[in-house]
Structure 1
């Protein structure tokens, strides 16, 4: 088990690094006193007790009253589900209480990093109302397969432009030359994201909802599809 990755994941659920280390130790070894936690983790006793107190407040640990006060972990799945439910409730509250002066103005936005680009594409797919065109290497299609299948099942238009076998059925597929690390998506003729995307590479994409940029990219995809169709007809 990759302990470092496990700790990083716990931090995403609202724990500090020290709390995540202590919770991980509880999950691994079971009920323990603050002294035992401090000894096992190398954290000072005062910090260990502070972390344990925080874990009980955040719903990640329970106190077990025995001869000495001990702490037991809340089951990982239960803790995660409680955290997700709380965040969903807080999200709903924030959306309802968003300042009325907020204006959504989108220009030309640079998105960097594999995870940030991936998250943006997932969100664009989840927000698609009518149609989506996705252009990328077949190597990355499986990453977005769930959302694409859902759109197809909902009767929305899904067009894939790729360079290999497409794992999706009942969608419109055009297969052409290698895409390499180039990726592009256009949804509802309103939003475009295009650039470089790939494992372990320097990932940078441009995102915009500007009409002129959307039309430019839309025409580029239409021309690419036309060339693929003509090439196939000649063959």
Structure 2
């Protein structure tokens, strides 16, 4: 991974960009004084010392006392694990004591960007109480193996519809035994234009909430989320009809 990418990832763990640069410098070297860090990074000495003090406070660096103080990076895996553990505890406190905000059932919410769509899918899957219906390409369904595994182990009903006739989890005995899957025959699907690289997804949770739209892996992806009863019912009925057609076709073979 290039240095710029590493810095961007470190920022996600609560470091400022300047702190991330200093931490990366410590990771790449042995014990360093503030002066040496300033020389290697090009950051002013005053900002380096402020950054080093902050890294020590964040649990990303140790101070080695001596004639002149030196700094040693905490191992990357240890720092990340500690931050994740801290954030989990912070989440528990916030969820327990913070204000509650529930999405309106009757509205329609647009979720933009592939990463944000994936975040919503993950939250919906892990929040399912009884059942899920998930329609997408087999490749996209396979991205959610761990979340689906949790649902299977909790004995939730999991119905998967592979829109491209690709069987998901072909070698995973646990998942194969715990899910109901349907493969959409090729002649059931609408032909795609050559330049069109979109895959439609439909996810219904507990017959109450739906997420639908197209995913391409890009920031321009858009999905619609709603708990509007009639809207959910339309998509649920469409899925039922699709499953009935697939069953009918399977019975002909």
Partner of 2:61: 61
TM-score by structure 2 length?
A: 0.86
Whether 1:206 and 2:205 are equivalent positions in the alignment is no
**Separation (CA, whole Å) in 2 of partners of 1:79 and 1:134:** 36
Whether 1:99 and 2:117 are equivalent positions in the alignment is no
**Separation (CA, whole Å) in 2 of partners of 1:216 and 1:34:** 64
Q: Deviations over 1:165-215 (max 9, x none)?
A: 211412111111469511111111111101011224731100112212211
**Separation (CA, whole Å) in 2 of partners of 1:123 and 1:201:** 19
**Separation (CA, whole Å) in 2 of partners of 1:158 and 1:97:** 33
Partner of 2:182: 174
How big is the alpha-carbon RMSD for the aligned residues of Structure 1 and Structure 2? 1.8
Query: Which structure 1 segments of 5+ residues have no match?
Result: none
Q: What's the secondary structure of 1:169's corresponding residue? A: helix
Whether 1:217 and 2:241 are equivalent positions in the alignment is no
Alpha-carbon deviation of 1:132? 0.7
Alpha-carbon deviation of 1:30? 2.4
- Give the number of aligned pairs: 234
Point out the more displaced range, 119-128 or 173-182. Answer: 173-182
**Separation (CA, whole Å) in 2 of partners of 1:224 and 1:30:** 62
Partner of 2:136: 136
Alpha-carbon deviation of 1:82? 1.8
Partner of 2:73: 73
Q: Deviations over 1:103-145 (max 9, x none)?
A: 6524211111111111111111111111111100111122101
Partner of 1:110: 110
Q: What's the secondary structure of 2:48's corresponding residue? A: helix
Question: After TM superposition, where is structure 1 displaced by more than 4 Å over at least 4 residues in a row?
Answer: none
Partner of 2:195: none
Alpha-carbon deviation of 1:77? 2.0
**Separation (CA, whole Å) in 2 of partners of 1:103 and 1:13:** 27
Alpha-carbon deviation of 1:160? 0.7
Partner of 2:126: 126
Alpha-carbon deviation of 1:159? 0.7
Q: What's the secondary structure of 2:28's corresponding residue? A: helix
TM-score by structure 1 length?
A: 0.92
Alpha-carbon deviation of 1:83? 1.3
**Separation (CA, whole Å) in 1 of partners of 2:209 and 2:102:** 17
Query: Which structure 2 segments of 5+ residues have no match?
Result: 170-174, 191-197
Higher relative contact order (CA 8 A, sep 6+): 2
